[in-house]
Amino acid sequence: MFAEAFQLWGSPVTWLELVAVALSLAMVGCNIREIHWGWPLAIASSLLYCALFWRSKLYGDASLQVFFVVVASRGWFQWLRGRRADGSQLHVARLSPRGLAAMLAACAVLWPATGLFLLKFTDSDVPWWDAFPTSVSLVGQYLLGRKYVENWGLWIAVNAVSVALFAFKALWLTAGLYLLFIALSVAGWRVWQARVQPA
């Protein structure tokens, strides 16, 4: 799978990256439409990206993919059988002010903690930049699994930083994918805003 499929701006694009990009696009399309099959696509693409990112010394992003595999299994269950605290079926909702504060606090704590870990325990050459999408994605994935519309705002931030990170690593196809993810996240936000029901 690490065999070269083609060259893009002087850098090789592997078959693994090509397949991971295709699965990721299908996954986001399913997420926007609230189709639960996006979760198994997330599992498959995350496994492929784990291998790709590890090879590129993006250890935070590689580890994040392992987390995504685990969380995607739970997310799939949540979307099929999940319930709100009041027992109602899981539906698209907005975070309460308290939930929004908790989201921001979680991001503010996880980013420096992840960055310090990568700085001290890996040979990453971009520990802080790798830490941002890693840590904020953890929060975004939780919110996506619980169908909170604010997940899309976090994905916009994650994807914007990831474009620069993957371009720096010459993962051009993946950088292009994350650029497209920004637009898809904006579209997802708009679609879910129209579906919002009270929390």
Give residue-wise pLDDT tens across range 50-108: 998 898 888 877 887 898 899 888 888 888 888 877 888 889 999 999 999 999 999 99
Residue ranges per structural domain of the chain: 10-81+92-195
Structure confidence at residue 195 (pLDDT): 93
Rounded CA gap, 80 and 13, in Å? Answer: 36
Q: What is the pTM of this model?
A: 0.83
Contacts of 46 (CB under 8 A, 6+ apart): 65, 66, 68, 69, 72
Residue ranges of the chain with per-residue pLDDT less than 50: none
Structure confidence at residue 12 (pLDDT): 74
Structure confidence at residue 114 (pLDDT): 93
Rounded CA gap, 2 and 51, in Å? Answer: 9
What is the SS3 assignment for the chain?
CCCEEEEECCEEEEHHHHHHHHHHHHHHHHHHCCCCCHHHHHHHHHHHHHHHHHHCCCHHHHHHHHHHHHHHHHHHHHHHHCECCCCCECCCECCCHHHHHHHHHHHHHHHHHHHHHHHHHCCCCCHHHHHHHHHHHHHHHHHHHCCECCHHHHHHHHHHHHHHHHHHCCCHHHHHHHHHHHHHHHHHHHHHHHHCCCC
Tokens coding 182: 């920004």
